Structure 1
Amino acid sequence: MYLLEKNCGKLTIGELFKKDLKIPSYQRPYMWNKKQVEELLKDFLEVFEKKVENKIYLIGNMIFLRNEQQLEVVDGQQRTITLALILYNLNNNAKQFLEQINISNPLSKKAIYENNLIINNFIGRFLVDDDKKESFIIFLKTNILITYITANTQDEAFIFFDSQNTRGKPLNRHDLLKAHHLRDTNLDTQKRVIYAKVWENYDEEKLKVLLEVYLTLNRNFVKSNYKFDVDVYEEFKSNSFTSNLNNYNQPPIFKNINYDVENKKLKLMLKDGVEFKIGNTLSFDDAEQYLPFEILQSIGGGEEFFWYISKYISLKEKFDNILDKDILKFVDSLSIYLRDYFYASLFLYFDKFDDDKFCDFAYLILWLISHYRLNNYSVRYLGVRNFIKNYNIFIKLFFSYSSDELIDKINQMIKYELHVIDNSKVSKGIRKDYFLKIENNKYLLKIAKLVKD
């Protein structure tokens, strides 16, 4: 097979499937639904049946990455697979391309099965006549066009990708992040497939919240960056692909780690000259909790990033189970900024101190939030940013050695820096409603002391 000779241009569908195409392991599952496939087939049929010469149908732009003699489909995978299914069901090649696709994902299997039925139904309704069917195949291969951009490096490909929005469902910033770390040259093909599969199995919304709220906000606020709008790709990408540990990641006795993400087994390799009687490797089962990472650390590339995410996916599940339901109901009624502030600060605390005096800390955070809410007529983005800046719990948390030290710092701040709110501010409107919620919640009742009688 030959490579495209130019970096951009156009291809017919017939020309496209003469290329040695590959769907990279980091791509999302194939998920085109009935509506999307039927709409595409309907568009093709309308153009096909028009009695005009030079009938052309453009289905958008695709981005390829040169990889030796192959072209990796960086953007356009959903359309490419759908086109291949159409040609396959018309008994006209694309079989070789479909055979190399990894369809182990159950979502992909389901979509391919259902879309094959849709395509066969379309053929049975509109292309019964053999001559018409053959003409339709010729039309597809010669009159359906794509435009393309070909990149020479993966970073270049993602720059192209990030600057456009095509008809196919685009990779989000989280999937770009996955792709970035899968390019680690130390990862063999089998490991890339494993990590891609583990990533796909994460609940997409939960992963989004973990990255954007529980991790990135903490990293921002500790660094005195008070923005709520985050770019997780920029935050978690790395130019360093190594699993060697520095002394801040651990007691300084380990030089390397290896984590089996499938079986959840962790191995820690001792530095030269350090020995235990049991040998120079410690192994743990159910080891996500022992992974030597912290929320605020710099991000190593490759599989270390996937271990990092694995740890915090696991920690988030434990975190969700220790929060009081009545408090959750109260917090979820807050504005999104105050709600994110609450969850981010508690997650950082839980990561550092586990559940030691967790409820005491949660109560103090609610005290601070309530002081802000009762003191302001409305919750505005800039107002919350200034509130976090003036009373930066995150920096105090980061530099506190123990939970006792942290809680004492916050109590002192509340005592000497937060003035009591005048009763007139909570006598009507939204602030009155908020104050009544506090008074009617026995856990929060003491916070009512924020207001003068």
Structure 2
Amino acid sequence: MISVIENRADIISIDEFLNLTDIRIPEYQRPYKWSDKNVLQLIEDIYTFRHKEHYRFGTIVIHINPITESNITTTYNDIVDGQQRYTTIRLLVYALFQLVENSNKFQSNTRDLLQNLKDKLDRIELNYKNKNSIENIHKNFQLIKRSIQHFDDITIYNFIKKFQVVVFFIHDITEAFQFFDSQNSRGKDLYPHDLLKAFHLREFDKNEFELQLKVVGHWEKYASKKLSILFAEYLYRIKGWSNNQHARYFGKEHIDMFKGISIDKIENYPYVKVLQISHSVVDNYNDNFERKIDRQEMGFPFQLDHIMINGRRFFEYVNHYLGINEKFKGKYLVEKEDSKHYSNAESIVKMVYQNHYSYRDGESYIRDLFECIMIYYIDKFGENELPAFLEKAFIWCYYLRFRYQRLGFDSLDNYIIKNNLFGAIKSAMQPKDVLKFTLKELPSFEDILSFSKGDSSRMDKSIVEFFKKNHYYVN
């Protein structure tokens, strides 16, 4: 909850806003990426509403961030929300200054006003390191210069003096992030992973401020779609299917499965001890001075079936599971000049990702299922007996191609519950226990012959031939 004592909200003009000192755009912010449409809309608004007494131009959230170095404290104004708008306003001021400097149609007080703002902006050094940010800044600066040629003294004066922004000054970084999430949720529906981000940011230890900034910066580098896929198509489904539950559509009502315990708040129950030990051992190892020498790092031993530790471990958890599938594909999805040089596992993975019908919905459902089962197996057993399991998983998944002419997700979901390979992995102590799983449903030999000789529009012939060659059928 935002403290009314420490925090404040001011409605200020563009002039007053740009006069704020020690403005910073933190490293965790996303790249600057305003499009032509965004920039042109801003310029159109400035011109359209130039005669209005006041025009409200959005919201800025600032974290008041005091930093002490060599016993000297400097209070920075870190922009948590609104950096896209702030950067564009800066570009606009510089472009207006050039316009006025290179023309004799403007009054001297307009020139003085812009000179004063430019001098103040020059003293605020912003280092944009991201390549896309730099390219977009250069592109938008040229676009702005082309688009403001019709501006006059009144338009410029009213923009600087009468256009307003609402600036929220917030002292606590966690509150700032919370406020950012609440502001951005107005008028649109947040994704479940956005709600999880906000929840776990609140669960950070008070002493983990720098780490909090780091993990948020890392999170913001991921495309929202990538995070949405991770939770909706992989983690949610694996958790549901491994508990023999239907797992069709991930929504806000399911986010509690990605919440757990807060180590420093929960009672010292017996079941918590193993998590406390793991948590402490990993931190102690990574914080040891020897790590500065050997550069080693111990990752937290995440397991999809284990209880989540709230806070920073959640963000590490996301990074960990984003990496598993990519690492798996990186090892087995390879290109070789001669098909004879492919291992059995490589041939299977190639069929999954590069068959002739990979673009169809039913095929994508099976591919996602294959990825889910591989993630779950690797999560528990690593690469032990992985090629053997990979073949069993492939047959288990692609039997669906023989059974259904048009495969809907509901049919796939029901098939898993009745023939649950996830459950076999969950109860297994060793890989050999999983490899004993009985494939209860296989195509008939007549189906194999029919698909290999006849209509090939239902599935790739290479899949049929694999079933046939390896005797995955019943007579």
Shared fold, TM over 0.5: yes
1:404-439: CA deviations, max 9, x gaps?
A: 01111x13xx2xx32654836984797863273323
C-alpha contact (below 8 Å) 1:219/1:296 kept by paired residues = yes
Cα distance in 1, alignment partners of residues 287 and 161 from structure 2: 58
| Relative contact order higher in (CA < 8 Å, ≥ 6 apart) | 2
C-alpha contact (below 8 Å) 1:150/1:157 kept by paired residues = no
| 1:236-255 alignment runs, 5 A limit | 236=258, 240=262, 246-249=272-275, 255=280
Aligned pair count reads 409
Q: Which residue of 1 aligns with 2:46?
A: 44
- Once structures 1 and 2 are overlaid, which stretch shifts more, 84-93 or 394-403? 84-93
C-alpha contact (below 8 Å) 1:26/1:178 kept by paired residues = no
2:307 corresponds to 1:298: yes
Cα distance in 1, alignment partners of residues 418 and 325 from structure 2: 28
Cα distance in 1, alignment partners of residues 126 and 322 from structure 2: 28
Cα distance in 1, alignment partners of residues 55 and 181 from structure 2: 26
| 1:84-95 alignment runs, 5 A limit | 84-87=90-93, 89-90=95-96, 91=114, 93=117, 95=120
2:141 corresponds to 1:136: no
Cα distance in 2, alignment partners of residues 202 and 243 from structure 1: 30
Q: Which residue of 2 aligns with 1:28?
A: 30
2:297 to 267, 274, 287: 287
What SS class does the counterpart of residue 345 from structure 1 fall into?
helix
Q: Which residue of 2 aligns with 1:54?
A: 52
C-alpha contact (below 8 Å) 2:30/2:221 kept by paired residues = no
C-alpha contact (below 8 Å) 2:403/2:443 kept by paired residues = no
Q: Which runs of 5+ in 2 are unaligned?
A: 1-5, 66-74, 97-113, 333-344
C-alpha contact (below 8 Å) 1:65/1:157 kept by paired residues = no
1:119 to 136, 144, 168: 144
Q: Which residue of 2 aligns with 1:81?
A: 87
Cα distance in 2, alignment partners of residues 199 and 173 from structure 1: 14
C-alpha contact (below 8 Å) 1:56/1:144 kept by paired residues = yes
2:364 corresponds to 1:348: no
2:335 corresponds to 1:307: no
Q: Which runs of 5+ in 1 are unaligned?
A: 260-265, 270-278
Instruction: For 2:300, give the aligned amino acid.
Output: L
- TM normalised by structure 2 equals 0.67
- Once structures 1 and 2 are overlaid, which stretch shifts more, 239-248 or 136-145? 239-248
1:4 to 6, 9, 26: 9
Q: Which residue of 1 aligns with 2:429?
A: 401
- Once structures 1 and 2 are overlaid, which stretch shifts more, 233-242 or 342-351? 233-242
Q: Which residue of 2 aligns with 1:331?
A: 352
1:176-204: CA deviations, max 9, x gaps?
A: 65555445243544333433343345577
Change (3 A) 1:155 1:82: same
Q: Which residue of 2 aligns with 1:273?
A: none
| 1:379-418 alignment runs, 5 A limit | 379-408=407-436, 410-411=437-438, 414=439, 417-418=440-441
1:401 Cα offset (Å):
0.6
What SS class does the counterpart of residue 31 from structure 1 fall into?
coil
Instruction: For 2:47, give the aligned amino acid.
Output: L
Cα distance in 1, alignment partners of residues 279 and 180 from structure 2: 37
1:434 to 444, 459, 470: 459
Cα distance in 2, alignment partners of residues 426 and 75 from structure 1: 61
Percent of pairs identical after alignment? 22
Cα distance in 2, alignment partners of residues 98 and 162 from structure 1: 34
| 1:88-237 alignment runs, 5 A limit | 89-90=95-96, 91=114, 93=117, 95=120, 99=124, 103-123=128-148, 125-127=149-151, 132=152, 134-141=153-160, 144=163, 153=175, 154-155=177-178, 158-165=181-188, 174=193, 177-178=196-197, 180-183=199-202, 184-201=204-221, 209-231=229-251, 234=255, 236=258
Cα distance in 1, alignment partners of residues 465 and 316 from structure 2: 43
Cα distance in 2, alignment partners of residues 268 and 293 from structure 1: 19
1:345 Cα offset (Å):
0.7
Instruction: For 2:187, give the aligned amino acid.
Output: Q
Change (3 A) 1:63 1:179: farther
RMSD value, Cα: 4.7
C-alpha contact (below 8 Å) 2:8/2:168 kept by paired residues = no
Cα distance in 2, alignment partners of residues 393 and 282 from structure 1: 43
1:82 Cα offset (Å):
1.8
Change (3 A) 1:426 1:319: same
Cα distance in 2, alignment partners of residues 159 and 35 from structure 1: 25
1:197-220: CA deviations, max 9, x gaps?
A: 433455776555444444333223
C-alpha contact (below 8 Å) 2:448/2:473 kept by paired residues = no
What SS class does the counterpart of residue 283 from structure 2 fall into?
strand
Change (3 A) 1:33 1:389: same
What SS class does the counterpart of residue 267 from structure 1 fall into?
helix
C-alpha contact (below 8 Å) 1:64/1:75 kept by paired residues = yes
Instruction: For 2:280, give the aligned amino acid.
Output: K
Cα distance in 2, alignment partners of residues 243 and 341 from structure 1: 37
C-alpha contact (below 8 Å) 2:444/2:474 kept by paired residues = yes
Change (3 A) 1:291 1:4: closer
Instruction: For 2:42, give the aligned amino acid.
Output: L
C-alpha contact (below 8 Å) 1:377/1:431 kept by paired residues = no
What SS class does the counterpart of residue 434 from structure 1 fall into?
coil
1:403 Cα offset (Å):
0.3
Instruction: For 1:240, give the aligned amino acid.
Output: S
Change (3 A) 1:100 1:214: farther
Cα distance in 1, alignment partners of residues 462 and 42 from structure 2: 52
Change (3 A) 1:141 1:255: same
Cα distance in 1, alignment partners of residues 401 and 220 from structure 2: 39
2:286 to 244, 267, 288: 267
C-alpha contact (below 8 Å) 1:374/1:431 kept by paired residues = no
C-alpha contact (below 8 Å) 1:238/1:301 kept by paired residues = yes
What SS class does the counterpart of residue 4 from structure 1 fall into?
strand
Instruction: For 2:8, give the aligned amino acid.
Output: L
1:117-144: CA deviations, max 9, x gaps?
A: 4334545x345xxxx2x42232224554
1:24-66: CA deviations, max 9, x gaps?
A: 7654222213443234324433554xxxx5387665x547488
Cα distance in 1, alignment partners of residues 44 and 218 from structure 2: 36
